[in-house]
Protein backbone atom coordinates (compact mmCIF):
# COMPACT_ATOMS: atom_id res chain seq x y z
CA UNK A 1 0.00 0.00 0.00
CA UNK A 2 2.92 2.37 0.63
CA UNK A 3 4.01 2.05 -2.99
CA UNK A 4 0.54 3.01 -4.26
CA UNK A 5 0.49 6.07 -1.99
CA UNK A 6 3.95 7.06 -3.26
CA UNK A 7 2.88 6.75 -6.88
CA UNK A 8 -0.32 8.69 -6.29
CA UNK A 9 1.65 11.47 -4.59
CA UNK A 10 4.24 11.50 -7.35
CA UNK A 11 1.47 11.45 -9.94
CA UNK A 12 -0.08 14.55 -8.44
CA UNK A 13 3.29 16.26 -8.86
CA UNK A 14 3.34 15.28 -12.54
CA UNK A 15 -0.24 16.33 -13.04
CA UNK A 16 0.68 19.71 -11.56
CA UNK A 17 3.42 19.94 -14.19
CA UNK A 18 1.00 18.87 -16.90
CA UNK A 19 -1.65 21.27 -15.73
CA UNK A 20 0.29 24.09 -17.27
CA UNK A 21 -2.54 26.54 -17.06
CA UNK A 22 -3.34 26.55 -13.38
CA UNK A 23 -0.57 28.43 -11.64
CA UNK A 24 -2.93 30.02 -9.13
CA UNK A 25 -6.59 30.05 -8.13
CA UNK A 26 -9.13 27.28 -7.99
CA UNK A 27 -9.73 26.49 -11.63
CA UNK A 28 -11.14 23.15 -12.70
CA UNK A 29 -11.98 21.61 -16.04
CA UNK A 30 -14.32 18.85 -17.08
CA UNK A 31 -11.88 17.19 -19.49
CA UNK A 32 -8.08 17.38 -19.67
CA UNK A 33 -6.15 16.17 -22.70
CA UNK A 34 -2.40 15.69 -22.93
CA UNK A 35 -0.41 14.77 -26.00
CA UNK A 36 3.36 14.43 -25.66
CA UNK A 37 5.48 13.81 -28.72
CA UNK A 38 9.20 13.12 -28.31
CA UNK A 39 11.72 14.24 -30.90
CA UNK A 40 14.22 11.87 -32.53
CA UNK A 41 16.63 12.38 -29.61
CA UNK A 42 14.07 10.73 -27.23
CA UNK A 43 14.70 13.57 -24.82
CA UNK A 44 13.14 16.80 -26.09
CA UNK A 45 9.68 17.25 -27.51
CA UNK A 46 6.31 18.93 -27.52
CA UNK A 47 3.45 18.77 -25.06
CA UNK A 48 -0.04 19.88 -26.06
CA UNK A 49 -2.50 20.47 -23.25
CA UNK A 50 -6.22 21.06 -23.76
CA UNK A 51 -8.53 21.98 -20.89
CA UNK A 52 -12.21 21.66 -21.80
CA UNK A 53 -14.96 23.51 -19.91
CA UNK A 54 -12.76 25.56 -17.58
CA UNK A 55 -14.62 26.80 -14.51
CA UNK A 56 -14.07 27.91 -10.93
CA UNK A 57 -14.68 25.50 -8.08
CA UNK A 58 -15.67 28.46 -5.88
CA UNK A 59 -19.30 29.26 -5.05
CA UNK A 60 -18.66 32.89 -4.07
CA UNK A 61 -19.09 35.15 -7.16
CA UNK A 62 -16.20 37.40 -6.05
CA UNK A 63 -13.82 34.41 -5.86
CA UNK A 64 -15.13 33.13 -9.19
CA UNK A 65 -14.32 36.50 -10.74
CA UNK A 66 -10.82 36.37 -9.23
CA UNK A 67 -10.32 32.93 -10.78
CA UNK A 68 -11.52 34.22 -14.15
CA UNK A 69 -9.24 37.27 -13.94
CA UNK A 70 -6.26 35.01 -13.11
CA UNK A 71 -7.09 32.85 -16.12
CA UNK A 72 -7.15 35.90 -18.41
CA UNK A 73 -3.83 37.08 -16.94
CA UNK A 74 -2.27 33.66 -17.62
CA UNK A 75 -3.53 33.90 -21.18
CA UNK A 76 -2.41 37.46 -21.86
CA UNK A 77 0.57 38.33 -19.69
CA UNK A 78 4.25 37.44 -19.91
CA UNK A 79 4.67 36.36 -16.27
CA UNK A 80 2.91 33.09 -17.07
CA UNK A 81 5.44 32.41 -19.83
CA UNK A 82 8.35 33.13 -17.50
CA UNK A 83 6.91 30.84 -14.83
CA UNK A 84 6.53 27.99 -17.31
CA UNK A 85 10.12 28.48 -18.54
CA UNK A 86 11.30 28.14 -14.94
CA UNK A 87 9.36 24.85 -14.74
CA UNK A 88 11.22 23.49 -17.76
CA UNK A 89 8.82 24.20 -20.62
CA UNK A 90 8.78 26.91 -23.28
CA UNK A 91 5.20 27.88 -24.14
CA UNK A 92 5.07 28.22 -27.90
CA UNK A 93 1.34 28.88 -28.20
CA UNK A 94 -1.59 29.46 -25.86
CA UNK A 95 -5.17 29.98 -26.86
CA UNK A 96 -8.36 30.58 -24.90
CA UNK A 97 -11.62 30.21 -26.82
CA UNK A 98 -15.32 29.58 -26.50
CA UNK A 99 -16.10 26.26 -28.21
CA UNK A 100 -19.74 25.19 -28.33
CA UNK A 101 -20.53 27.11 -25.14
CA UNK A 102 -17.51 25.78 -23.21
CA UNK A 103 -14.34 27.69 -22.38
CA UNK A 104 -11.31 25.82 -23.76
CA UNK A 105 -7.58 26.43 -23.16
CA UNK A 106 -5.10 24.97 -25.62
CA UNK A 107 -1.40 25.22 -25.06
CA UNK A 108 1.56 23.93 -27.03
CA UNK A 109 4.89 23.87 -25.19
CA UNK A 110 8.39 22.63 -25.88
CA UNK A 111 10.62 20.87 -23.38
CA UNK A 112 14.29 19.91 -23.56
CA UNK A 113 14.46 17.01 -21.09
CA UNK A 114 11.53 14.60 -20.78
CA UNK A 115 13.05 12.60 -17.92
CA UNK A 116 13.85 15.73 -15.91
CA UNK A 117 10.32 17.04 -16.42
CA UNK A 118 8.72 13.78 -15.25
CA UNK A 119 11.42 12.51 -12.88
CA UNK A 120 8.98 12.07 -9.99
CA UNK A 121 6.94 9.41 -11.80
CA UNK A 122 9.58 7.53 -13.75
CA UNK A 123 10.30 4.16 -12.15
CA UNK A 124 12.23 1.28 -13.73
CA UNK A 125 12.13 2.70 -17.27
CA UNK A 126 8.38 3.32 -17.03
CA UNK A 127 6.36 6.52 -16.80
CA UNK A 128 3.56 5.81 -14.33
CA UNK A 129 0.79 8.27 -13.40
CA UNK A 130 -1.97 7.51 -10.88
CA UNK A 131 -5.49 8.90 -10.73
CA UNK A 132 -8.04 8.83 -7.94
CA UNK A 133 -11.59 7.47 -8.24
CA UNK A 134 -13.02 10.90 -9.11
CA UNK A 135 -11.37 10.81 -12.55
CA UNK A 136 -11.98 8.53 -15.51
CA UNK A 137 -9.40 7.80 -18.19
CA UNK A 138 -11.33 8.41 -21.41
CA UNK A 139 -8.49 7.70 -23.84
CA UNK A 140 -4.84 6.71 -23.63
CA UNK A 141 -2.23 4.81 -25.53
CA UNK A 142 -0.73 3.67 -22.22
CA UNK A 143 -1.44 0.51 -20.27
CA UNK A 144 -4.21 0.84 -17.67
CA UNK A 145 -4.11 -0.84 -14.28
CA UNK A 146 -7.14 -0.42 -12.04
CA UNK A 147 -7.06 -0.90 -8.30
CA UNK A 148 -9.80 -0.50 -5.70
CA UNK A 149 -9.07 3.18 -5.12
CA UNK A 150 -7.26 4.38 -8.21
CA UNK A 151 -6.22 3.87 -11.81
CA UNK A 152 -2.66 3.91 -13.10
CA UNK A 153 -1.50 4.59 -16.64
CA UNK A 154 1.93 3.29 -17.64
CA UNK A 155 4.11 3.85 -20.67
CA UNK A 156 7.56 2.42 -21.41
CA UNK A 157 10.13 5.23 -21.64
CA UNK A 158 10.88 4.20 -25.22
CA UNK A 159 7.41 5.43 -26.16
CA UNK A 160 7.56 8.31 -28.68
CA UNK A 161 3.97 9.52 -28.25
CA UNK A 162 2.01 9.72 -24.99
CA UNK A 163 -1.75 10.31 -25.16
CA UNK A 164 -4.01 10.84 -22.18
CA UNK A 165 -7.56 12.21 -21.86
CA UNK A 166 -9.16 12.47 -18.42
CA UNK A 167 -12.75 13.25 -17.43
CA UNK A 168 -13.70 14.54 -14.00
CA UNK A 169 -16.54 12.42 -12.60
CA UNK A 170 -19.56 14.31 -11.27
CA UNK A 171 -18.26 17.61 -12.65
CA UNK A 172 -20.38 20.46 -11.26
CA UNK A 173 -19.84 24.18 -10.89
CA UNK A 174 -21.81 27.35 -10.29
CA UNK A 175 -19.57 29.50 -12.49
CA UNK A 176 -20.10 30.20 -16.18
CA UNK A 177 -16.72 31.10 -17.61
CA UNK A 178 -17.84 30.68 -21.21
CA UNK A 179 -20.36 33.48 -20.71
CA UNK A 180 -17.82 35.64 -18.85
CA UNK A 181 -15.36 35.12 -21.70
CA UNK A 182 -17.97 36.10 -24.26
CA UNK A 183 -18.58 39.36 -22.38
CA UNK A 184 -14.84 39.94 -21.94
CA UNK A 185 -14.22 39.39 -25.67
CA UNK A 186 -16.94 41.86 -26.67
CA UNK A 187 -15.46 44.53 -24.36
CA UNK A 188 -11.98 44.06 -25.89
CA UNK A 189 -13.15 44.63 -29.49
The parent domain of residue 98 ranges over 2-188
Provide the whole-model pTM. Answer: 0.84
pLDDT at 25: 54
pLDDT at 167: 96
pLDDT at 1: 47
- pLDDT per residue rounded down to tens, the chain (189 residues): 445 544 444 444 455 445 433 434 589 999 999 999 999 999 999 999 999 999 999 999 999 999 999 999 999 999 999 999 999 999 999 999 999 999 999 999 999 999 888 888 998 889 999 998 899 999 999 999 999 889 999 999 889 999 999 999 989 989 999 999 999 999 887
Total domains in the chain come to 1
DSSP β-ladder status, 135-140 and 126-132? unpaired
pLDDT at 29: 95
pLDDT digits (tens, 9 = 90+) for 110-124: 999 998 888 889 988
Amino acid sequence: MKINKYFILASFIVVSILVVIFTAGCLISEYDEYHILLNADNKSGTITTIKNNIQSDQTDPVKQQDDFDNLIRDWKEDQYLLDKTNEGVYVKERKLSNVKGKLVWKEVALFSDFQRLFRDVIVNDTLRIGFAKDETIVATNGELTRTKDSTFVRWPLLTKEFILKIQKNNFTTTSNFAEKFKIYSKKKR
